[in-house]
């Protein structure tokens, strides 16, 4: 499997995981370790960034694991930029998962504020990973603004509905010059494998692991699915053939070409 | 501009009540099959016909809550600033005709309370409570209290008299996150029977408070009715109607329901509920609210017993208080229980409640907000 490069970092794991919703910080730590993930998101609202002994952060001190602070809770670009600067200083990382979802119901991202914040944060030297709607044009705009990758959603956060935005993800993957990380909605390892087979560069999973009855085991399952999907992609999937090919209206026309070809 | 008062005016209490009581098991089954229910489905879920489907409702409520909120329970603690009140509500201990010792904490006392809570417990979310007395606890007083709280806590909420939208904005600028305002009853005709004196007698002004909160852009708006005053099933319908209205009108706010329950009480001169709801009914109500809205926060206070709180914790509840003292000054001076607003039925310490939450497999969350995420606090937040 080819490693994945985002900004200045190289990842051998293409599974990123979230740290919310776990029944305890111990379960969370076990699951993160089992996932093999090298990039884990942490909600700034959940941690005391100025407290060195913050329990959640302490549980994430694992070899090879990089923190990716997220701005969940902010409503606009101004708030996101401010929070990002505090996080950079306290957590010593310029990586940021940009989340601006002013709608608390479905937690859907605000495209206008996200683009605005990305422009500003890139200017300030951040590695910006924006969470966004599966909107191909918006993805190109974010790429032009200097986003390190794009993180389109498969389905609303926490819905476990899989790749409901499949057709748009396909276009995004086809057009993107930066890595595409499918985020949100991935509820089963098969969804993750499907995203990887489609050509996504990585996936981000949280709820499906955190609320399963055995989070560590589920994390392992996702790890394997992501690897399987990526391997299949690199080995090139055989095309899907629909129906038999014996004869079709085009056959005589093709036969006419025999002399020519 | 239309408010919820106009929306509610299109419904008749008695007609809704009859609709609920006429629901059949088939109506309940249909509601249980849906991913997003209608108000008619909700009527079925709070109807007597749903009593035979409690296990199904609880199982679905559990699954939906876990998927949306995870295996966590949010923890908060109330801090009573004042028990002065200019209202005469027949069910409340702060009632202005009650001859109790009245207290309003000054800034030093407020600070002492905050320090006592932070020293003894893990709470980072605080709910400031007052009786309704603008003369004793003004908007400026609340603003000052919020500013003090910001030094100690990462989320500050308020449960006080209804205010104007610009007053809410003033308090948000000081760091306020959420406001809880309880309608007590949605039955306009019966409302005056319980509210004898004071500004609270104005049903419409109180009912339109969440509209003013939404207009002010409040992060979270808490609704509640006092279970026992009127038929709780019909109350639930109207509060849910209120939620559906607010969700589309003020789409950037979060919503939280509380369901304080009055219990029959033998004491002399005590208020007895006309329509008491039992523990099974309260569970039905909690599950119905969860199936109404996946992202609605559901908060259960220490009015309910420890055994009951532990038992129903997995089935929709998202938020719990613990170790509550309902008299001003109660955290710094723990022996004084004379001034309580209502009786606490879960008197466990926060550490004991934390252990009970963990025993269910849930992580107690003490902090789920950072003040610096709030635009109004940029520059001066903890």
pLDDT for residue A8: 92
E strand or H helix at B365: strand B363-365
Task: With a cut of 80, say whether residue B305 has pLDDT above it.
Answer: yes
Which residue of A lies nearest to B248 if distances are taken between CA atoms?
A: A105
Chain B positions touching A42 (Cβ under 8 A) are: none
- Based on the structure, what is the number of domains in chain B? 1
pLDDT band at B274, cuts 50/70/90? confident
Residue from A84, A87, A211 whose CB has the most chain B CBs within 10 Å, to mutate: A211
Residue B12 lies in a domain: yes
Tokens 């613990």 -> residue: B322
Q: What are phi and psi of B78, to 5 degrees?
A: -85, 145
Return the SS3 of B315: helix
How many CA atoms within 13 Å lie on the side-chain side of B229?
25
Q: What is the mean pLDDT of chain B?
A: 92
How confident is the model over B358-373, as pLDDT tens digits?
Answer: 999 999 999 999 888 8
Chain B positions touching A44 (Cβ under 8 A) are: 370, 373
Cβ–Cβ contact B359 with A under 8 A: no
Out of A21, A76, A83, name the one closest to residue B70 (CB). A21
pLDDT for residue B334: 72
Chain A positions touching B246 (Cβ under 8 A) are: none
Q: What is the mean pLDDT of chain A?
A: 92
Interface contact flag, A23 B72, Cβ < 8 Å: yes
Interface contact flag, B70 A20, Cβ < 8 Å: yes
Return the SS3 of B380: coil
Out of A22, A105, A106, name the one closest to residue B363 (CB). A22
Return the SS3 of B192: helix
Euclidean distance between CA atoms A200 and A188, whole angstroms = 16
Q: Distance, in angstroms, between A88 CA and closest chain B CA? A: 14
> Which ipTM value was assigned to this complex?
0.81
Most confident of A76-90, A242-256, B117-131, B317-331: B117-131
CB A16 within 8 A of CB A39: yes
CB A227 within 8 A of CB A202: no
Cβ–Cβ contact B122 with A under 8 A: no
pTM score:
0.90
Chain A positions touching B71 (Cβ under 8 A) are: 21-23, 210-211
Residue B163 lies in a domain: yes
Cβ–Cβ contact B355 with A under 8 A: no
pLDDT for residue B98: 83
Q: Distance, in angstroms, between B271 CA and closest chain A CA? A: 38
Tokens for B189? Answer: 């005709």
CATH classification at residue B199: 3.20.20.70
Out of B252, B295, B373, name the one closest to residue A44 (CB). B373
E strand or H helix at B177: strand B176-180
Q: What is the mean pLDDT of residues B136-142?
A: 95
- CA-closest candidate to residue B77, choices B152, B171, B181, B173: B152
Residue B154 lies in a domain: yes
- In percent, how much of chain B has pLDDT > 90? 79
Residue from B70, B153, B219, B362 whose CB has the most chain A CBs within 10 Å, to mutate: B70
* Residue A258 CB partners (closer than 8 Å, separation 6+): none
What chain A holds in terms of domains, given with CATH numbers, is 4-256 (3.20.20.70)
Q: Would you please indicate which residues of A are annotated as catalytic (active-site) residues? A: 97
Q: Distance, in angstroms, between A251 CA and closest chain B CA? A: 48
Task: With a cut of 70, say whether residue A243 has pLDDT above it.
Answer: no
Q: What is the mean pLDDT of residues B200-220?
A: 96
CB A98 within 8 A of CB A87: no
Euclidean distance between CA atoms B312 and B308, whole angstroms = 6
Tokens for A125? Answer: 């030297």
pLDDT for residue A30: 96
Lowest mean pLDDT, pick from A66-70, B302-306, B324-328: B324-328
- In percent, how much of chain A has pLDDT > 70? 97
pLDDT for residue A236: 86
DSSP string computed for chain A: ---EEETTEEES--EEEE--S-SSHHHHHHHHHHHT-SEEEEETTTS-TT-TT-HHHHHT--TTPEEEEE-TT--SHHHHHHHHHHHHHHH---EEEE-----TTT----HHHHHHHHHHHHHTT-EEEEEE-S-HHHHHHHHHHT-S-BEEBSSSTT-----TTHHHHHHHHHH-SS-BEEES---SHHHHHHHHHHT-SEEEE-HHHHTSSSHHHHHHHHHHHHHHHHHHHHH-PPPP--S--S--TTHHHHHHTTTT-
CB A98 within 8 A of CB A121: yes
Residue B262 lies in a domain: yes
DSSP string computed for B235-288: HHHHHHHHHHHHHHHSTT-EEEEE--B-----STT----SS---HHHHHHHHHH
Tell me how far CA of residue B277 lies from CA of B139, B325, B341, in angstroms: 36, 25, 21
Task: With a cut of 70, say whether residue B265 has pLDDT above it.
Answer: no
CB B159 within 8 A of CB B78: yes
| More confident: A47 or A100 | A100
Q: What's chain B's length in residues?
A: 382
Interface contact flag, A45 B373, Cβ < 8 Å: yes
Chain A positions touching B367 (Cβ under 8 A) are: 45-48
Out of B71, B251, B369, name the one closest to residue A22 (CB). B71
* Residue B6 CB partners (closer than 8 Å, separation 6+): none
DSSP state of B37: -
Out of A71, A75, A82, name the one closest to residue B378 (CB). A82
How confident is the model over B179-208, as pLDDT tens digits?
Answer: 999 999 999 999 999 999 999 999 999 999
pLDDT band at A252, cuts 50/70/90? confident
Tokens for B277? Answer: 């709801």
Q: Distance, in angstroms, between B295 CA and closest chain A CA? A: 6
Residue B268 lies in a domain: yes
- CA-closest candidate to residue B247, choices B292, B281, B284: B292
Interface contact flag, A102 B69, Cβ < 8 Å: no
Cβ–Cβ contact B380 with A under 8 A: no
Interface contact flag, A21 B72, Cβ < 8 Å: yes
pLDDT for residue B336: 58
Q: Distance, in angstroms, between A83 CA and closest chain B CA? A: 6
β-strand partners of A15: A203
How confident is the model over B53-87, as pLDDT tens digits?
Answer: 999 999 999 999 999 999 999 999 999 999 999 99
Q: Which residues of A touch B (CB under 8 A)?
A: 20-25, 44-49, 71, 73-76, 78-79, 82-83, 86, 102-106, 158-160, 207, 210-211
How confident is the model over A46-83, as pLDDT tens digits?
Answer: 988 878 788 888 898 899 999 999 999 999 999 999 99
Residue from A25, A27, A46 whose CB has the most chain B CBs within 10 Å, to mutate: A46
Cβ–Cβ contact B373 with A under 8 A: yes
Interface contact flag, A21 B71, Cβ < 8 Å: yes
Residue B218 lies in a domain: yes
- Residue B312's domain comprises 4-377
Task: With a cut of 80, say whether residue B288 has pLDDT above it.
Answer: yes
How confident is the model over B91-134, as pLDDT tens digits?
Answer: 888 888 888 888 999 999 999 999 999 999 999 999 999 999 99
Euclidean distance between CA atoms B247 and B182, whole angstroms = 17
* Residue A180 CB partners (closer than 8 Å, separation 6+): A139, A149, A150, A151, A152, A169, A172, A173, A199, A200, A201
pLDDT band at B262, cuts 50/70/90? confident
Residue from A19, A24, A109 whose CB has the most chain B CBs within 10 Å, to mutate: A24
Task: With a cut of 80, say whether residue B343 has pLDDT above it.
Answer: no
pLDDT for residue A238: 80
Task: With a cut of 90, say whether residue A248 has pLDDT above it.
Answer: no
Euclidean distance between CA atoms A107 and B98, whole angstroms = 46
Query: From the CA atom positions of chain A, what is the Rg in Å?
Result: 20
Tokens for B137? Answer: 């606890």
pLDDT for residue B382: 44
Residue B324 lies in a domain: yes
Euclidean distance between CA atoms A200 and A41, whole angstroms = 19
Q: What is the mean pLDDT of residues B126-147?
A: 95
pLDDT for residue A240: 75
Interface contact flag, B373 A79, Cβ < 8 Å: yes
Residue B382 lies in a domain: no
């Amino acid at each position: 499997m080819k490693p994945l490069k985002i900004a200045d970092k190289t990842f051998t794991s293409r599974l990123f995981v979230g740290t919310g919703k776990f029944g305890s910080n111990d379960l969370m730590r076990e699951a993160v370790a089992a996932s093999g993930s090298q990039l884990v998101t942490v909600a700034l609202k959940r941690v005391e960034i100025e407290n060195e002994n913050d329990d959640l952060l302490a549980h994430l001190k694992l070899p090879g694991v990089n923190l990716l602070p997220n701005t969940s809770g902010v409503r606009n670009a101004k708030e996101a930029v401010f929070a990002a600067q505090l996080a950079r200083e306290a957590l010593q990382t310029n990586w940021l998962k940009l989340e601006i979802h002013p709608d608390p119901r479905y937690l859907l991202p605000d495209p206008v504020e996200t683009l605005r914040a990305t422009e500003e944060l890139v200017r300030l030297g951040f590695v910006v990973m924006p969470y966004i709607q599966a909107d191909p044009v918006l993805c190109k705009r974010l790429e032009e603004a200097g986003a390190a990758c794009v993180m389109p959603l498969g389905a609303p956060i926490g819905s476990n509905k899989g790749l409901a935005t499949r057709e748009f993800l396909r276009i995004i993957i086809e057009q993107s010059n930066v890595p595409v990380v499918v985020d949100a909605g991935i509820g089963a390892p098969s969804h993750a494998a499907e995203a990887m087979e489609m050509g996504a560069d990585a996936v981000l999973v949280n709820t499906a692991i955190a609320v399963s009855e055995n989070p560590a085991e589920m994390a392992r399952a996702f790890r394997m699915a992501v690897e399987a999907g990526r391997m299949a992609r690199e080995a090139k999937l055989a095309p899907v053939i629909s129906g038999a090919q014996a004869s079709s209206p085009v056959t005589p026309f093709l036969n006419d070409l025999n002399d020519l070809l | 501009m239309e408010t919820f008062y106009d929306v509610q005016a299109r419904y008749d209490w008695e007609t809704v009540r009859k609709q609920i009581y006429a629901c059949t098991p088939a109506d309940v089954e249909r509601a249980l099959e849906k991913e997003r229910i209608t108000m008619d489905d909700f009527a079925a879920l709070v109807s007597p016909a749903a009593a035979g489907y409690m296990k199904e409702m609880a199982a679905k409520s559990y699954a939906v809550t876990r998927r949306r909120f995870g295996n966590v329970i949010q923890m908060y603690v109330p801090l009573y600033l004042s028990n002065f009140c200019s209202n005469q509500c027949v069910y409340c201990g702060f009632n202005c005709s009650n001859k109790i010792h009245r207290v309003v904490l000054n800034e030093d006392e407020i600070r002492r309370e905050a320090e006592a809570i932070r020293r003894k417990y893990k709470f980072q979310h605080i709910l400031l409570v007052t009786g309704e007395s603008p003369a004793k606890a003004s908007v400026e007083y609340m603003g000052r209290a919020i500013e003090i709280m910001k030094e100690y806590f990462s989320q500050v909420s308020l449960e006080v008299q209804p205010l104007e939208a610009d007053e809410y904005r003033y308090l948000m600028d000081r760091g306020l996150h959420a406001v809880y305002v309880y309608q007590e009853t949605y039955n306009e005709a019966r409302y005056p029977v319980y509210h004898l004196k004071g500004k609270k007698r104005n049903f419409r002004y109180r009912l339109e408070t969440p509209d003013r909160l939404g207009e002010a852009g409040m992060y979270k708006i808490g609704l509640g009715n006092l279970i026992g005053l009127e038929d709780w099933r019909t109350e639930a319908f109207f509060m849910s109607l209120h939620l559906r209205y607010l969700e589309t009108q003020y789409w950037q706010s979060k919503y939280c329901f509380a369901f304080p329950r009055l219990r029959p009480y033998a004491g002399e001169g005590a208020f007895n509920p006309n329509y008491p709801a039992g523990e099974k009914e309260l569970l039905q109500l909690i599950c119905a609210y969860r199936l109404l809205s996946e992202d609605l926060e559901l908060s259960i206070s220490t009015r309910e017993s420890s055994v009951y709180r532990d038992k129903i914790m997995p089935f929709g509840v998202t938020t719990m208080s613990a170790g509550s003292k309902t008299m001003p000054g109660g955290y710094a001076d723990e022996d004084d229980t004379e001034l309580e607003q209502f009786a606490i039925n879960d008197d466990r310490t926060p550490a004991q409640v934390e252990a009970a939450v963990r025993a269910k497999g849930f992580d107690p969350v003490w902090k789920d907000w950072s003040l610096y995420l709030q635009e109004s606090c940029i520059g001066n937040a903890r």
